[in-house]
Structure 1
Amino acid sequence: MKVLKFGGSSVANAQNIKLVIDIVVNSAKDEKLIVVVSAFSKVTDLLQLASRKAAAGDESFKEILIEIEKKHLEAIKELIPISEQSSLLSHIKRIINHLETLLDGCYLLGELSLRTADTILSFGELLSSYIIAEALKQNLKNSGYKDSRELIKTNSHFGKAAVNFEISNQLIIDYFESNENQVVVLPGFIAASLDGINTTLGRGGSDYSAAIMAGALNANQLEIWTDVNGMYTANPKVVKQAQPIAFISYQEAMELSHFGAKVLYPPTIQPVLRKNIPILIKNTFEPDAEGTYISNQEMTYKNPVKGISHIDNITLITLEGPGMIGVTGSSKRLFEVLSYQEINVIFITQASSEHSICIGILNSDADLAQEVINKAFEVEISQNKIDPCIVERNLCIIALVGENMKNHQGLSGRMFSTLGKNNVNIRAIAQGASERNISAVINERDVKKALNTLHENFFEENTKQLNLFVMGVGNVGEKFIEQIHKQNNYLKENLKINVRVVAISNSRKMHFDEEGIDLNEWQSLLQNGETADQENFISAVKDLNLRNSIFVDITANESISKTYEHYLKRNIAVVTCNKIACASEYNNYKKLKNLSQKFNAPFLFETNVGAGLPIIDTVKNLVASGDKVHKIQAVLSGSLNFIFNNFNEENTFHDVVKEAGVQGFTEPDPKIDLSGIDVARKILILIRESGYQMEIEEITNESFMPAECLETTSNEAFFNSLKDHASHFENIYKEALSKDSRLKYVAQFENGKANVGLRFIPKDHPFYNLEGKDNIVLFFTDRYVDQPLLIKGAGAGAAVTASGIFADVIRIGNN
């Protein structure tokens, strides 16, 4: 014999009930079945609401009653042939009339006792089970119905009655020994006291009803049919990558159920655990899916962690003070006073010094717990031996669960390290002696990030998901997104990195998608997005609170560069090609670096100098290895190098600058390049990364541009001014020819001083043959004295800059 239980979602409506009947008919071909059913989906909630409204004198309870009746009558009309409906409709109508009488009584008396509440709530299962039993008879003649109240007997603790197993088991055995039906349908959740009064078995009571039946009859198997494919490695609504667990032990299942795995009610396991009856959790809507098999069968697993679960709405209460040290009975008094108030303690941890004890309870119990604890210790509190209890609300407990965790070292360290890297603050920690559970209390706002981070670390083959928030999708930004889209599969397969673009923004529009933006359609999505707003963008990033979040700044905007600290303080990495932040006041530059370290949030800006060239990374490695930079000589502007390499008798200065802009080598405002400020910022960043303190004002900028050109207020005016001053640039070019030299815009740092300016480079100089848009940097250090360390390559262009940004993102992924 097998026992099958179908939950509320499985019997939500006639369409779902037909699926249930198919499953039952197919299963009944092999052996006898007991089918335990819940109330139709949401009906228990409606009954509870109606009873409260009635007791409060609110006549709208009648509308709810009409809704309940309609829901059941519609199911009958779809499930039962018209010729067979009459007697069933009459029976259901009698039940509804009885319910109406009870609700009218609550309305007239203005009260709702626990006993009455249990009776009212029992109507959900009574209605559903009778309808399903009649529908099953249309498909399987040899089936019947039995009222669970006649078989399961309890005490009179209304709301959550305790089962009298000795009497119940005998009643169940006696009934089924004489029953010849192939299938018997019973209502779950409900029972009766020894004197025949309706009782209920508490939350998840239908599971419990099924387990009681299975245990009493030594069933071959208990099947729990629900709307998911078994127990998952984490809550699939929170962790999209969660997977069903194929096999799990009773103990592991109980741990996961306790910590919020709602597909199974913890007490369910007790009656079958004693008899070693396996439990199979199956999906009504995918009956061919494997499901989760729960038993005491020993199995070996590569992963010692079976699942990650959590409990929301937790309050942490801490009792501490010197008066607890060495004093016996403090813990007893604490738990005793909570027990008297029926406050369930979910989490316990105590310092070895005995100075404090910490407990986790539900938020709903927090006020009462605080009151009674302070009352119980009022003498010690008045004598300053113990402090008034500290109450921290809106927390959450997360837990790693696994039977074999006790045989593996380092799991707790791995768990806490993973959370720490994502700035998830741990308020308290507990681990039982069995070591099958490691629990931690965290802030409720971090639960999604924590669960996803842990799941990624323990279940996803160390695939790290990076969540990108991209600001700026011009030439470089477009190439960056294109590169991500193209390389996504490669990154997943070879580097175990899953890069998702969660947000994109330009100066006009922004678009968010928590599940990741479809990069095939990002341009149209952005075009139809909401109005861009920096404050709203920052708020949205913070509110999403995703693991491994990276803010990517692909602009040259000063106001955006001032937002970095907001991200870093929330453990959100910053990757930027925007030079303004790192070239701002030294104190601001240093503050950003310090915030990065303090909050474990990478701050990477390799593309600030040399686009995709590894210049900054090289400097960092030199300094980290103990070398000291004394002198830097560099051509750091790919745009200026392109301009002066192509400026000659055939191409005017105006035309070459125009072409540089078309090819994406210059900033949108070309004055930033031609004024020398861009090069000054770059050399300043290299100086600072080399370990020196310097401000931008200390760099001598020897401009070759006429003042009138730099004072223009628009690009159109600027280019017109280049035409007006064409002779100025021609004279510079002619002077270079006369000296048999080439024009290069050079940055230099030596002896604590720095300058940038146009230089005449002779043929024997390393800079002379620098072609196209290339950059070159010479580092003279303690180790590179006679022959400098030289880095050379393309230093401008959308594609190479985008690749440099992409490389920084991958660095974070590999960290």
Structure 2
Amino acid sequence: MVVLKFGGTSVANAENIQKVREIVDQSVTGSCVVVVSALGGVTDLLLDALDMAASRDAGYGDKLSVIEERHIKTVKALLPVANQSACLSKIKSELNVLESLVEGAFLIGERTPQLADKIVSFGELLSAYLIGQYFQAEGMDAVFKDSRELIRTNNTFGKAVVEFELTNPNCQEYFAKNTNRINILPGFIASSVTGNATTLGRGGSDYTAAVIAAAIDAEELQIWTDVSGMFTANPKIVKQAKSIPEISYQEAMELSHFGAKVLYPPTVQPVLAKGIPMRIKNTFEPDAPGTLISKGQILEGGTVRGISNIPDIALLSLEGPGMIGIPGISKRFFEVLSLANISVVLITQASSEHSICVGISSNEADRAETAVNEAFAYEISLGKIKPVIVEKSLAIIALVGDHMKSHQGLSGKMFSALGKNNVNIRAIAQGASERNISAVIDEADVKKALNTLHEEFFEEQVKQLNLYVMGTGNVGAKLLDQIEQQQRYLKKNLKMNLRVIGISNSRKMTFNEKGIPLKQWREELDKGEAANRITFLDTIKQNNFRNSIFVDNTASEVISQTYPDCLRKSIAVVTCNKIACSSAIENYQELKALSREYNAPFLFETNVGAGLPIIDTLKHLIASGDKVHKIQAVLSGSLNFVFNKFNEQTTFQEVVRQAQEQGFTEPDPKIDLSGIDVMRKILILARESGYPIELDQIENKSFLPEESLNTPDNQTFFASLEKYEEHFQKQYQQAKANNCRLKYVAEFANGKASVGLQQIPKGHDFYNLEGSDNIVLFFTERYPNQPLMVKGAGAGADVTASGLFADIIRIGNF
């Protein structure tokens, strides 16, 4: 005999009940037991009606009307007209009794556990009777049987304990005599040894099915629900979660205990003792294999079988010097909680015996705090024990797997993955069986933690990076296009999945948690909401995705001031904006420190040399123990472009305009020509070399006239360049007469830095530097005479975007 249980969603309406009939008719060849829940949502309606009645709210009648309407509608949709009258008469008769009971609660203004059990039992009774009538009308050999006549419990209303010595003989005797092929029973409900209606706790329909299966030694127990088995994680939170084909009883119990709602935790116990296999199946995908729960061998590769979580947890901590070496403290602590009927979900105790920490349901935290403080009031008054500490808004996450104990390093792998994403762990518990590793974390971090761990333990080591791109000008647009072009390559070859979650420019911003389709990112941005810098950054924090990266393509000082907040939330920062790293030394040092503290990469390779690996090369020199003595560099691709193009056949103003149009300068070209940009770059190199200098300590030998430096906008700036054309031609002619070329050079030596226009003679490394190329010479202890040289294109949207892209990939490889 096979036992099948169908949950509330499986019997929510007439259409779903028809699917149930097809499953029973087609998948079961011999006799079977069909255990059903109440129509989906009816139990909640019953409890709402009772609560309203107990609080003297006459609106409870509306709830009862909804219940009546749903059942009548279902009957009329399922049964032929000739069969409806008797069924409707029975249902209305039961609903009249229900109304009288609820009215009683209204009259006395009270809700008792015993009354609550009697009232909620109507949901399953009506559902099972209705389905029985439907099966019979369809010509199936089916009969309805009231579970209260078979399952006996104690008098603990709300979550009664089954009395197996009475229940098992009842079940065995009934099914031995019964000749019907299909027996339909209401789940969840039972009766006490004194004859009162009791319930087995929310989710108790699973338990009903398991109790009956164990009593009659069923061939298999099938739990039919709305998902295709037990999953590696909650598929509503982890989109990549997969159905587990096979799992052990113990693993199933652990997963269900830690929040896998597909299975009511006590369900496994009765069938475990008898070795009866269980199968979790999907009513709406009956051909899907689901999950087999048995005592058989676990499939290979199954170290961690699943990841689960329990929300709404509070931590209760009892600590104090008076606990050390004092016997009985733990006993008293747990006895207090037990007497207050508070269930402990997790326990951890320091080996010093200085503290005991337990996890309990958040809604019981205040009651627990009062009870414990009262019990230890004497010790608290003496200062031997501190008042109990309560922390709320927490959750438990757990790794589960039978074979975890035979694999080293799983705990380290778990905590390392969480730590990299700044998921703070408040408490840890691991049983001696090593079947479960649990950690208490902030509830806000659950989604990120589950996805991080699932990626670590179940996915093909494809690391997902979640990008938020600020700025879509020349550089930002090129970066997005490059990512779109390379997404497939990165996933296949580097095992990286780059998703752009948010994009913003000065006008609009748009978000998509599943990833913005980059082929049409411009259209998506145009349809977005009005840009708001604060909202954009708040959204990054609220999303709280693992491996989040904020990409700043702007030249905004205000945006650069948001980096500390990002890093504190373990959001990596990639930027071509030089302002942050060239600001006050304290700010630069804080950013570096925050990056280390919160394990959040702060990468700014494009601050110097666009896509050239200048900063990366310098970091490797320093990390390997080398010391920089001198740096000489041409660091402005725009200025190199300008002075390579400028001659007696052109005007200086024309060449600068050309550089601006081709994207070699900042939107305000004066930033480049004034030397400020180069000053920032040499400052960053000096700081990365270990020298704490400030921007105002750098000597700027400007080649621009004072009037040009003081212009308020681009128009007047270009006018001033035209006015002083003779000044620029004179500098060019002097260099030409000396057989030299003009280069804007940055130098750092002996702790001092300077920038300025220089005449570079033939034979010098800078002389043949063409176009917008950059060059850097590092003179170090290892390269004292022949410097280490980095040379190549140092300006332009394409190469700058590629430098940002390279930093993003570096983060993916961390």
Alpha-carbon distance, 1:514 to partner: 2.2
What is the correspondence of 1:175-574 to structure 2 with a 5 Å cutoff?
Answer: 175-574=174-573
User: Helix, strand or coil: the match of 1:521?
Assistant: helix
Letter in 1 for 2:7: G
How far apart, CA to CA, are the structure 2 residues paired with 1:191 and 1:410? 46
State how far apart, in whole Å, the 1-side matches of 2:297 and 2:98 are. Answer: 49
Question: What is the match of residue 601 of structure 1?
Answer: 600
Cα distance, 1:521 vs. partner? 2.6
For 1:714 and 1:289, the matched residues in 2 are separated by 68
* Equivalences for residues 744-759 of structure 1 within 5 A: 744-759=743-758
Q: How far apart in 2 are the matches of 1:210 and 1:768? A: 86
Match of 1:22 in 2: 22
> 1:154-180 CA deviation, whole Å, 9 max, x = no partner?
122111111121222222122222222
Secondary structure in structure 2 of the residue aligned to 1:212: helix
Residue identity matched to 1:38: S
Alignment of 1:645-656 (within 5 A): 645-656=644-655
Q: Secondary structure at the match of 2:169?
A: helix
- Seen in structure 2, the aligned counterparts of structure 1 residues 137 and 654 have a Cα distance that, compared at 3 Å, is farther
Structure 1 position 710, deviation (Å): 2.7
- Asked whether 1:13 is paired with 2:35, we answer no
Residue 531 of structure 1 deviates from its aligned partner by 2.1
> Which residue of structure 1 aligns with residue 680 of structure 2?
681
SS at match of 1:144: strand
Segment drifting more, 167-176 vs 272-281: 167-176
Cα separation, 2, equivalents of 1:305 and 1:163: 33
Q: Give yes or no for the alignment of 1:87 onto 2:86.
A: yes
Contact 1:25 1:140 in 2 (8 A): no
Segment drifting more, 437-446 vs 573-582: 437-446
Question: In the alignment, which residue of structure 2 is the partner of 1:696?
Answer: 695
d(CA) in 1 for partners of 2:65, 2:707: 83
SS of alignment partner, residue 699 of structure 2:
strand
Given residue 663 of structure 1, which amino acid in structure 2 is its aligned partner? Q
Whole-Å separation in 1 of the counterparts to 2:18 and 2:665: 67
Q: Within 1, Cα distance between the matches of 2:139 and 2:650?
A: 92
Query: SS at the partner of 1:297?
Result: coil
- Preserved contact between residue 25 and residue 139 of structure 1 (Cα < 8 Å): no
CA distance in 2, matches of 1:110, 1:685: 74
Counterpart residue type for residue 106 of structure 2: Y
Secondary structure of 2:344's partner? coil
The separation in 1 between residues aligned to 2:711 and 2:20, in whole angstroms, is 77
Report if the CA contact (8 A) 1:52-1:112 is conserved. yes
Matched, 1:813 2:779: no
Give the residue type in structure 1 aligned to 2:631: I
Deviation at 1:89, TM superposition (A): 1.4
Aligned to 2:736: 737
Please state how far the C-alpha of 1:713 moved relative to its aligned partner.
2.3
- One-letter code aligned to 1:763: K
Q: Does the 8 Å CA contact 1:169/1:216 hold for their aligned counterparts?
A: yes
Match of 2:56 in 1: 57
- The CA deviation at 1:712 is 2.4
2:207–2:264 CA contact under 8 A, matched in 1:
yes
Residue 316 of structure 1 contacts residue 391 of structure 1 at CA under 8 Å; is this kept in 2?
yes
Question: Shift of residue 260 of structure 1?
Answer: 0.4
Deviation at 1:300, TM superposition (A): 4.3
1:140 CA drift (Å): 4.1
User: 1:510 Cα deviation (Å)?
Assistant: 1.7
- Bigger mean CA deviation after superposition, 790-799 or 715-724: 715-724
Residues in 2 aligned to 1:807 and 1:537: alpha-carbon distance in whole angstroms: 24
Consecutive unaligned residues in structure 1, runs of 5 or more = none
The yes-or-no answer on 1:110 pairing with 2:121 is no
Q: Which amino acid aligns with 1:769?
A: N
Counterparts of 1:303 and 1:119, CA distance in 2:
44
What one-letter code is carried by the residue in structure 2 that aligns with 1:557?
A: S
Q: Cα deviation per residue 1:579-609 (whole Å; 9 max; x = unaligned)?
A: 0110111111111111111111111100000
Q: CA deviation at 1:679?
A: 0.7
CA–CA distance in structure 1, aligned partners of residues 693 and 796 of structure 2? 28
Which of 130-139 and 267-276 deviates more?
130-139
AA aligned opposite 1:27: S
- Over the matched positions of the two proteins, sequence identity in percent amounts to 63
CA distance in 1 between partners of 2:483 and 2:248 (Å): 42
736-745 vs 326-335, which moves further:
736-745
- What is the distance in 2 between the residues matched to 1:738 and 1:721? 26
Alignment check: 8 A CA contact 2:342 2:364 kept: yes
Q: Distance in 2 between matches of 1:181 and 1:502?
A: 58
Query: Helix, strand or coil for the counterpart of 1:583?
Result: coil
**CA distance in 1: counterparts of 2:218 and 2:369, whole angstroms:** 46
Superposed CA deviations along residues 720-776 of structure 1, whole A, max 9, x for unmatched, are 333333333233222232222222111111222211111222221111111111111
Query: Mean alpha-carbon deviation: is it higher for 388-397 or for 506-515?
Result: 506-515
* Superposed displacement of residue 708, structure 1: 2.5
- The verdict on how the C-alpha distance between 1:140 and 1:788 changes in structure 2, with shifts beyond 3 A counting, is farther
Looking at structure 2, the residues matched to 430 and 461 of structure 1 have their Cα atoms a distance apart, in angstroms, of 28
Between the aligned partners of 1:774 and 1:506, the Cα distance in structure 2 is 29
User: Which one-letter code corresponds to 1:16 in the other structure?
Assistant: N
Q: Which residue of 1 aligns with 2:787?
A: 788
- Report how far residue 709 of structure 1 moved: 2.5
Question: C-alpha separation between the residues in 2 aligned to 1:72 and 1:657?
Answer: 80
- Taking structure 1 as the reference length, the TM-score comes to 0.98
Equivalents in 2 of 1:139, 1:790: separation in Å?
86
Amino acid at match of 1:33: C
Give the distance between the partners of 1:387 and 1:113, measured in 2 at CA. Answer: 37
Alpha-carbon contact 2:467-2:502 (below 8 Å) kept: yes
| Distance across 1 between alignment mates of 2:720 and 2:21 | 84
Task: Give, in whole Å, the separation in 1 of the partners of 2:248 and 2:238.
Answer: 22
Aligned residue type for 1:145: F
Contact 2:701 2:757 in 1 (8 A): yes
SS of the equivalent of 1:367 reads helix
Q: Give the drift of 1:512.
A: 2.0
Q: Does the 8 Å CA contact 2:248/2:298 hold for their aligned counterparts? A: no
Consecutive aligned runs of 4 or more in structure 1 exceeding 4 Å deviation? none
Distance 2:369 2:298 in 1: 45
1:8 is aligned with what amino acid? Answer: G
Q: Could you list the per-position Cα deviations for residues 213-236 of structure 1 after superposition, in whole angstroms to 9, with x for gaps in the alignment? A: 111111111111111111111111
Between the aligned partners of 2:393 and 2:150, the Cα distance in structure 1 is 42
| Secondary structure at 1:98 match in 2 | helix
**Letter paired with 1:541:** I
**Cα distance in 1 for residues equivalent to 2:727 and 2:645:** 17
> What letter matches 2:27 in structure 1?
S
1:666 match: 665
How far off its partner does 1:440 sit? Answer: 1.1
**Paired letter, 1:296:** K
Q: What secondary structure, in the 3-state scheme, does the structure 2 residue paired with 1:241 have?
A: coil
How far, CA to CA, are the matches of 2:433 and 2:126 in structure 1?
44
Residue 476 of structure 2 aligns to a residue whose secondary structure is: helix
Query: Match for 2:22: what amino acid?
Result: D
Partner of 2:67: 68
Moved more, 781-790 or 505-514: 505-514
The equivalent residue for 1:576 is: 575
Structure 2: gaps of 5 or more residues? none
Query: How far is the alpha carbon of 1:306 from its aligned partner?
Result: 0.7
Instruction: Provide the rounded CA distance (Å) in 1 between the counterparts of 2:748 and 2:92.
Output: 93
SS in 1 for 2:383: coil
Partners in 2 of 1:628 and 1:302 — Cα distance? 48
Matched to 1:487, the amino acid is Q
Distance 2:705 2:382 in 1: 80
User: How does the TM-score come out when normalised to structure 2?
Assistant: 0.98
Instruction: Answer yes or no: is the 8 Å Cα contact 2:83–2:137 preserved in 1.
Output: no
Q: Distance between the aligned counterparts of 2:436 and 2:413, measured in 1?
A: 14
